[in-house]
Structure 1
Amino acid sequence: MRKWSRGAARTAGRRDAGEGPLSYLVVALLCAALALALVLSGIGGRVVSSIAAAVCQIGKSAGLVQDCRPPGGGGRGQAQRDPDEPTTGCVPFMESHYLEETVGIPLRYVDVRTNSRGTLQLIERIGPDGRRTWEVVDFTWGEGGVGTPDGLRAGPVGGGVWGGLTITNGKVYGGFTSKKEAREFFDDLRDHRIGNEVKFTLRTNPLTGGFVWLGSRLPWVGDDIDRFMGGSEPDREPTEEYMDGGLTGGFRADLDLSVGPAQLKLPFKGRGWLLTGSRVNNTNGQTTHYFTQRGEFEAAVQVDVSRLVRTLPASVRRQVQQGLDEGVDVVLDMIERQLRGQYGNGFVLLPEQRAQMRAQIKINPSVGFNYKHRGGTQWGVTYDRDGDIVGINQIQNGQDIVYVRVDGRASGQNGVGDRGQLTVGGQWILFAQRTVTEKNLDYSSAEDRAVIDRYLRDGDTDAVERAWEGGAGTMSRLTYDNTGDTTKLEGRGSTPRRRLGFVEIGREAERHSLQSAHYYRKGQGWVPWQGCR
């Protein structure tokens, strides 16, 4: 609202001499009192907005103001906002990269299992005012637990289970108004955090992370160690920070259906989390305490190509074996170059050494398809900086992915019986779809407040769900198309007397592009969300 002009007020006073100004003042005070009563009662909304507009028109007639906005606070010609449309904004695009490693250490009866993952996300947001901003999310989790011994089998069935504890620490760097600036920050932080598998494993794995942390606290050299290992923080301050922890567990199994030369396996695996945590918004001081349950399940069909190759004519088998030997030579060339860099150009793998290695290493390629489902639900309660309730929300996340996969398994055995197995593979998305449903209740609304109080008092989630189904609060549903790929490396070793453990390292890059956006309108159902484009 513009400031009123002293000259205009004097002119209006001369024009409306007598009872006019006093009458206007009385009506204005009555309208203001009515608006205040409506706000305190929780009705508010468009009624209060209309009364405020009427008060402004009275002031304009009295010469107290020069301009008034239409009801709803919009500018001239601006459409009135649908009260059922979410005010949380939406995400039309997200890109995610992660590096994950798992180390298993065999004991007599169980395996000690440690795991860590570093994830970087680039997120585009559209606010309720239509402005686009970008943010970068950086989080790392660490897990520790025990499981059944790796490699257990009973006939055609193999697998095991595991369980333990997990903790996650995350930071959000928001407020980017330029996509280019956000992308540069994202790329630099990704290379710093998860650019090197060895440094990442040493820094984040629960077995070694403590030693790296102590090294980063050493005088004079601590900062250099922290920076080299990828643990140093960027110059930009985070807009949000969160930490959670809880229980985690999973299983792994495979069914061998091989018949004759056709080796067919059906691998299965899954894991889940039960977490509780807090998220702090450093900009407005709000804190959200949340509880999350989520999990993922993966099933695959895997065909061992090497067995099928053995059924081919001798001339074809020789060509295939020649191709596999050339693949081994490529790897040996890479190893030779690395060793030359360490020991000088005089280091050379002799032909007989290469031949011996090729004889010991057997490559078994396989192809197949994977299906993965991810799902989870998070409940959160948000408080302002004074500890007063702001509202509650629920976020449901579901994703289905179909991959095509290619694996190469190399195994070796030396003269004393030591065995090792290395598997390198990749997965590429053929089809994927992700759906995110977000529901919110606002404590400033009288209707929502009663539901929130009951939820906090009795933990009655069914009542909250019924309220949302009845049109309380706001609900949105976003559907994404996904593209991306995954690479993995698995190493396992053993001797005739004992197992040597295993190491698994995986990378994933995934992009989520918005396909459709809807929000729930009371009495009408799901309608297109035009503001989320």
Structure 2
Amino acid sequence: MTAVRKWIRGAAARTAGRRDAGEGPLGYVVVALLCALLAVAVALSGVSGRVVSDIAAAVCRIGEMARLVPDCRSQDRDDREQARRDPDEPTTGCVPSMESHYLEETVGIPVRYVDVRTNSRGTLQLVERVGPDGRRTWEIVDFTWGEGGVGTPDGLRAGPVGGGVWGGLSITNGKVYGGFTDEREARRFFDDLRRHRIGDDIKFTLRTNPITGGFVWLGSRLPWIGDDIDEFMGGSEPDRAPTEEYLDGGLTGGFRADLDLNLGPAKLKLPFKGRGWLLSGTRVNNTNGQTTHYFTQRGEFEAAVQIDVSRLLRTLPASVRRQVQQGLDEGVDVLLDMIERQLRREYGNGFVLLPDQRAQMKAQIKLNPSVGFNYKHRGGTQWGVTYDRDGNIVGISQVQNGQDIVYVRADGKFAGQNGIGDKGQLTAGGQWILFAQRTVTQKNLDYSSAEDRAVIDRYLRDGDTDAVEQAWEKGAGTMSRLTYDNTGDTAKLEGRGSTPRRRLGFIEIGRETERHSLQSAHYYKEGQGWVPWQRCR
């Protein structure tokens, strides 16, 4: 057998020499086939498995030289990994970390008895993945949603209680840029795309809002200047093809309420709000040709406690109040500096707020600061059915998301000289995460498994989700559960206008940065329950 191995290695060397000499690929194929036939003959002769393995490895290397296989060492590693892998371990990619940035705007336009409400959000995510082979890769998710609907008039109140409801339609368009094997390269791509997509509030609002977005789109289609308009507004695509694309749409709605409580010198405000979505969509994997049709239901609820600090300040001694007011005036100056810098970026360095203009603006506004805490819960479930490029069923999946967040918040309300709500008001604020935890549970059934196939057929035929849940409870398919710790912050700006006779509408703009770091990873093993998922760490 030593002679056989020497002959195969010699054939490999001769093949490599011919390739370097410029011989065509047909010669490589002939040598590879001869080696393959020899390997089969040796395998049938009953020699030891170690010898057969050595011959197979040598033949694979010849095939690599002949460019018939991409990487023998990678194949050997993948085979060993597959042999060690627990059959209950999910083959889906695991996500150890994720960074998310979003910019969202909402515009309300009053019309007679209702408000026309439009909303859009742009989100960019940098996702780290660990594949079934243990390799780490990074991908960038870029998606934008747009919503349109109607709601009750903004500012409705009945004594200490205010609020309203709204409903409409939502559509989301997303792209995934995967395949990054170097984190620094992925982050450069992510940062460039973030500055381009959501770097400017005004451009983002004009490009994504359902009312103005159509005009921007038409402008980007103009001859000669269309590409420049698209680039300037942040709509142009990166010079990299997406590995996945998805599109979904459906119903959306929500509510908003608040309760004002006067407790002696303190004034408390208890705001509540929530919203939800019922969506269906399609996700296409451009790499392997698989298509997933999915249905999603998700929602979020938020409750807060805010204390009106200005009310408490009025109970302080006059000397202290003067010092506090001086500090608040300095805060207004800081805000005006921010506005001036922003306008300089938009209109050039020649734009300056003169001292008289600053004094006039400061005389027309007053600051009403408040502090408090926010609690937010997000949750959702997505069902998906995946098909291969030929339309054959691959499997079904369920992804459940749950997140709880506690923020500390601070707000400053700038209102007209004659009182809040006389002509309008501007509120700027921020939220910082004190505690947050997110849990993602994913379950899969594989159509190539006879046991799973019967459950999938029943689900597709009858829509029997209970049967699928019961199958997972009995250990069918694969299940994983990932728990994350979250950090981040949110900045918000709200503007509302009104006169004694008419409403002028509102605009809300919010930015958020959030980072998800894996705390624990488990998968379900029949007979043992949830066990640590070592590959995911």
Give the shorter-chain TM-score range.
Answer: 0.7 to 0.9
Structure 2 equivalent of residue 398 of structure 1 = 402
Checking the alignment, whether the CA contact within 8 Å between 1:74 and 1:80 is kept in structure 2 is no
1:349 maps onto 2:349 in alignment: no
Please, which of 236, 239, 259 is the counterpart of residue 255 of structure 1? 259
Equivalent position amino acid for 1:67 in 2 = D
CA shift for structure 1 position 505: 0.1
Distance 1:73 1:57, change over 3 A: farther
CA shift for structure 1 position 356: 3.7
Structure 2 equivalent of residue 220 of structure 1 = 224
Checking the alignment, whether the CA contact within 8 Å between 1:60 and 1:67 is kept in structure 2 is no
Please, which of 104, 114, 120 is the counterpart of residue 118 of structure 2? 114
Moved more, 54-63 or 395-404: 54-63
Equivalent position amino acid for 2:221 in 1 = R
Distance 1:344 1:73, change over 3 A: closer
Trace 1:409-424 onto structure 2 (pairs within 5 A). 409-413=413-417, 419-424=423-428
Trace 1:181-200 onto structure 2 (pairs within 5 A). 181-200=185-204
Please, which of 357, 365, 369 is the counterpart of residue 365 of structure 1? 369
Equivalent position amino acid for 1:506 in 2 = G
Q: Write out per-residue CA displacement over residues 37-73 of structure 1, whole angstroms, 9 at most, x where no aligned residue.
A: xxxxxxxxxxxxxxxxx99964552999463899x99
1:285 maps onto 2:289 in alignment: yes
CA shift for structure 1 position 148: 0.3
1:490 maps onto 2:482 in alignment: no
Distance 1:324 1:89, change over 3 A: same
Structure 2 equivalent of residue 141 of structure 1 = 145
CA shift for structure 1 position 322: 1.1
Aligned mates of 2:350, 2:191 — CA distance in 1: 35
* Equivalent position SS for 2:534: coil
Equivalent position amino acid for 1:96 in 2 = S
CA shift for structure 1 position 155: 1.2
Checking the alignment, whether the CA contact within 8 Å between 1:519 and 1:526 is kept in structure 2 is yes
Aligned residues: 482
Which protein has the bigger helix share?
2
Aligned mates of 1:344, 1:95 — CA distance in 2: 34
Structure 1 equivalent of residue 523 of structure 2 = 519
CA shift for structure 1 position 281: 0.3
Distance 1:324 1:527, change over 3 A: same
Aligned-residue CA RMSD in angstroms? 2.6
1:98 maps onto 2:84 in alignment: no
CA shift for structure 1 position 349: 2.6
Equivalent position amino acid for 2:47 in 1 = S
Checking the alignment, whether the CA contact within 8 Å between 1:151 and 1:159 is kept in structure 2 is yes
* Equivalent position SS for 1:236: coil
* Equivalent position SS for 2:262: coil
Please, which of 273, 298, 302 is the counterpart of residue 277 of structure 2? 273
TM-score, with structure 1 as normaliser: 0.86
Distance 1:149 1:131, change over 3 A: same
* Equivalent position SS for 1:295: strand
Distance 1:169 1:74, change over 3 A: closer
CA shift for structure 1 position 385: 0.4
Structure 2 equivalent of residue 38 of structure 1 = none
Aligned mates of 1:170, 1:366 — CA distance in 2: 37
Please, which of 266, 290, 306 is the counterpart of residue 310 of structure 2? 306
Checking the alignment, whether the CA contact within 8 Å between 2:309 and 2:371 is kept in structure 1 is yes
Residue segments in structure 1 that go unaligned for 5+ positions in a row: 9-53
Aligned mates of 1:320, 1:87 — CA distance in 2: 60
Equivalent position amino acid for 2:354 in 1 = L
Aligned mates of 1:331, 1:378 — CA distance in 2: 43
Aligned mates of 1:386, 1:346 — CA distance in 2: 60
Equivalent position amino acid for 1:193 in 2 = R
* Equivalent position SS for 2:235: coil
CA shift for structure 1 position 156: 1.2
Aligned mates of 2:338, 2:349 — CA distance in 1: 15
1:481 maps onto 2:485 in alignment: yes
* Equivalent position SS for 1:359: helix
Distance 1:56 1:318, change over 3 A: farther
CA shift for structure 1 position 78: 8.4
Structure 1 equivalent of residue 47 of structure 2 = 61
Checking the alignment, whether the CA contact within 8 Å between 1:69 and 1:76 is kept in structure 2 is no
Checking the alignment, whether the CA contact within 8 Å between 1:413 and 1:420 is kept in structure 2 is no
Distance 1:79 1:329, change over 3 A: same
Residue segments in structure 2 that go unaligned for 5+ positions in a row: 9-39, 58-75
Distance 1:402 1:414, change over 3 A: closer
CA shift for structure 1 position 489: 0.1
Distance 1:145 1:67, change over 3 A: same
CA shift for structure 1 position 249: 0.2
Distance 1:333 1:234, change over 3 A: closer
CA shift for structure 1 position 355: 3.8
Identity of aligned residues (%): 83
Aligned mates of 1:256, 1:345 — CA distance in 2: 45
Checking the alignment, whether the CA contact within 8 Å between 2:5 and 2:55 is kept in structure 1 is no
Structure 2 equivalent of residue 510 of structure 1 = 514
